[in-house]
Amino acid sequence: MPFNQITIIGMGLIGSSIARAIAENEVASRLVGCDNNPDHCDTARALQLCDLITSDPNEAVKGADLIILATPVGSYGPLGKLICPNMKAGAILTDVGSVKASVVKSLSPHMRADCHLIPGHPVAGTEQSGPEAGFAGLFTGRWCILTPPEGSDATQTAKLEKFWQALGSKVEQMTPEHHDMVLAITSHLPHLIAYNIVGTARHLEEVTKSEVIKYSAGGFRDFTRIAASDPTMWRDVFLNNKEAVLEMLGRFSEDLTALQRSIRYDEGDKLFELFDRTRRIRRQIIEAGQEEDIPDFGRDLGRHLDDK
Amino acid sequence: MPFNQITIIGMGLIGSSIARAIAENEVASRLVGCDNNPDHCDTARALQLCDLITSDPNEAVKGADLIILATPVGSYGPLGKLICPNMKAGAILTDVGSVKASVVKSLSPHMRADCHLIPGHPVAGTEQSGPEAGFAGLFTGRWCILTPPEGSDATQTAKLEKFWQALGSKVEQMTPEHHDMVLAITSHLPHLIAYNIVGTARHLEEVTKSEVIKYSAGGFRDFTRIAASDPTMWRDVFLNNKEAVLEMLGRFSEDLTALQRSIRYDEGDKLFELFDRTRRIRRQIIEAGQEEDIPDFGRDLGRHLDDK
């Protein structure tokens, strides 16, 4: 067993998926789960996700070789203050948060010299939340980004890298600042504009909600998926990656204004050129194994297969 | 057989799907297909999609009781001028275009008094193009909107309604102007912002294309699907629904600016409130049968099913 005891704080989609993946891949002798929501604790117990489920973070981290924070990033500061004094000497503290510079900032002041802070981010998830929503295969084939602070112990980072590989992930290292810039475009901005268009659709007078729903197959329904993601988690992401998100949003809006102008002034060639170029990137994502090669996300798959 | 001969002009995703659905549901005695792309004609012949495949629209419409335009909407004016004089008396001319007011405008001048123009729009599709991409079940359970011009013959509209019902669609009638407003929010704006974010991602200096691809599972990959749609078709949609698209885009940008401000000034409550509200609409779309009830669009479905 690579680890004797692993403790996961937060038994939501990601935390509970890690618990399942640890069990399936036999990565720890003892698994402890912690959640401040009593319902989540009950569910996690019923699903037998861990050897021990507790709502007390201090009880949870006792004796753990690896502690994984899987709560909204806004909770890390208070959590770090609480648990760091009780961590076992030599333990690794990591997390799964979607932002990284702010995580370093909020956890570093509480870290002990005899423990190791190595923030991480498995780029995986679904729009669903809670312990029931998790599954062991969530990380298979997906990338996990580690952002070890400068001067951290390479042996410990290697251990954490092996942990994620054991769960099926591919692992990359980068600085927290670069992570936050990359994820601003590949994850945070997509969520922001998805939330925004769904919000815009809700407020129309000319088009009823029932019409939005009926005719959502025209494209809108795609956006409702990520706009159904956990609100607390995403509030914290935007508040904790403000600079990079605002930077990407500025570029997006600039490009959108140019596109708006092209529509207004009938610049068909410019529209065609953009639409033709964007087409190719999906193919590359499929070739990189980050998307399935099947039309319409495989919706109505049964019907596709029945037809010639 | 409800129709003796049906002619489909345009053998792409939609046209070829209609051909397959007509054959499967036995809606016509004779089916004629037409495409100005010789490769599409060859493929349609090889797939035996029609009784006759021709690249000559005039030959194609001869003797048809129902003619369906399934080419980019920008082609309708010239096509109408060409085929209307050769249409059979009493024939119905319809289409599948994603805009409707401009379709009425471009086809009406060419219509003969003894024929019937009833524009239509099946709200269905995938991001793929061409005759190979079609399938008979594409319209099953989806809505088809008909926009009969004022004073048109209700019997003919009822005939066309039955046609779409035979293909598995639910049918609704509305004015072309209302259609264009509804689709601007449920389809055109989603495509525009998907094309735009993919374009923005292509132009970054700080984040490489390889990083965009690797970490696209964070949300970005969802947008690449509709940004892979046919560029000619979508250029024509935006140029032909300019007013409604610019109106919706204005509202979207206004809302996005407010969201940007909330991020800049740490208004966590406002962010949470929006993110929490948008969550519910997906559930309603699923309940309305317009989306499958399965997380992450059913990606990696095999893995979900294997896990507990």
pLDDT digits (tens, 9 = 90+) for B115-173: 999 999 999 999 999 999 999 999 999 999 999 999 999 999 999 999 999 999 999 99
Q: Do residues B163 and B267 share a domain?
A: no
Question: Nearest CA of chain B to the CA of A90: how many Å?
Answer: 31
Q: Do residues A24 and A111 share a domain?
A: yes
Whichever domain contains B141, its CATH number is 3.40.50.720
Q: Do residues B79 and B46 share a domain?
A: yes
Q: Do residues A84 and A224 share a domain?
A: no
Give the residue on A whose Cα is nearest the Cα of B293: A299
pLDDT of residue B308: 40
Q: Do residues A36 and A115 share a domain?
A: yes
Helix axes A268-287, A242-264, angle to 10 degrees: 140
Q: Do residues B7 and B146 share a domain?
A: yes
Q: Do B197 and A201 touch (CB under 8 A)?
A: no
Q: Is the pLDDT assigned to residue A302 strictly greater than 70? A: no
**Pairwise CA distance, residues B215 & A124, whole Å:** 9
**For all residues of chain B together, what is the average pLDDT?**
95
Q: Looking at beta carbons, which residues of chain A come within 8 Å of B124?
A: 217
| High-pLDDT (> 70) share of chain A, % | 97
Q: Looking at beta carbons, which residues of chain A come within 8 Å of B272?
A: 231-232, 235
Complex-level ipTM: 0.94
Q: Do residues A170 and A188 share a domain?
A: no
Q: Do residues A102 and A245 share a domain?
A: no
Q: Does A115 lie at the interface with B, CB-CB under 8 angstroms?
A: no
Q: Looking at beta carbons, which residues of chain B come within 8 Å of A216?
A: 186, 285, 290-291
For B180-226, write each residue's pLDDT tens digit: 999 999 999 999 999 999 999 998 988 999 999 999 999 999 999 99
Q: Do A282 and B183 touch (CB under 8 A)?
A: no
Residue B216 near residue B202 (C-beta atoms within 8 A): no
Give the residue on B whose Cα is nearest the Cα of A302: B137
Q: Do residues B67 and B83 share a domain?
A: yes
pLDDT of residue A149: 93
Give the residue on A whose Cα is nearest the Cα of B174: A211
Q: CB within 8 A of A77, min separation 6: which ones?
A: A106, A107, A110
Whichever domain contains B295, its CATH number is 1.10.3660.10
**Range(s) of the domain holding residue B282:** 178-306
Listed residues B174, B196, B223: the one ending a domain:
B174
Q: Do residues A28 and A133 share a domain?
A: yes
Burial A170-189 (b: 16+ CB within 10 A, else e): bbbebebebbbbbbbbbbbb
Q: Do residues B170 and B182 share a domain?
A: no
pLDDT of residue A303: 55
Question: Nearest CA of chain A to the CA of B197: how many Å?
Answer: 6
> Between B47, B172, B213, which is nearest A284 by CB?
B213
| Residue B93 backbone dihedrals phi, psi, to 5 degrees | -110, 120
Whether pTM > 0.90 for this model: the answer is: yes
pLDDT of residue B305: 53
Q: Do residues A95 and A123 share a domain?
A: yes
**Pairwise CA distance, residues B171 & B168, whole Å:** 10
Question: Nearest CA of chain B to the CA of A62: how many Å?
Answer: 28
Category of A233 on φ-ψ map: left (φ > 0), alpha (ψ -120 to 50) or beta = alpha
For A10-26, write each residue's pLDDT tens digit: 999 999 999 999 999 99
H or E stretch including B3? strand B3-9
* One-letter amino acid for residue B79 of the chain: L
Mutate to test the interface with B, among A279, A280, A283, A299 (most CBs of B within 10 A): A279
Listed residues B174, B202, B222: the one ending a domain:
B174
Report residue B301's pLDDT band, with 50, 70 and 90 as the boundaries: low
Tokens of B43: 């493929």
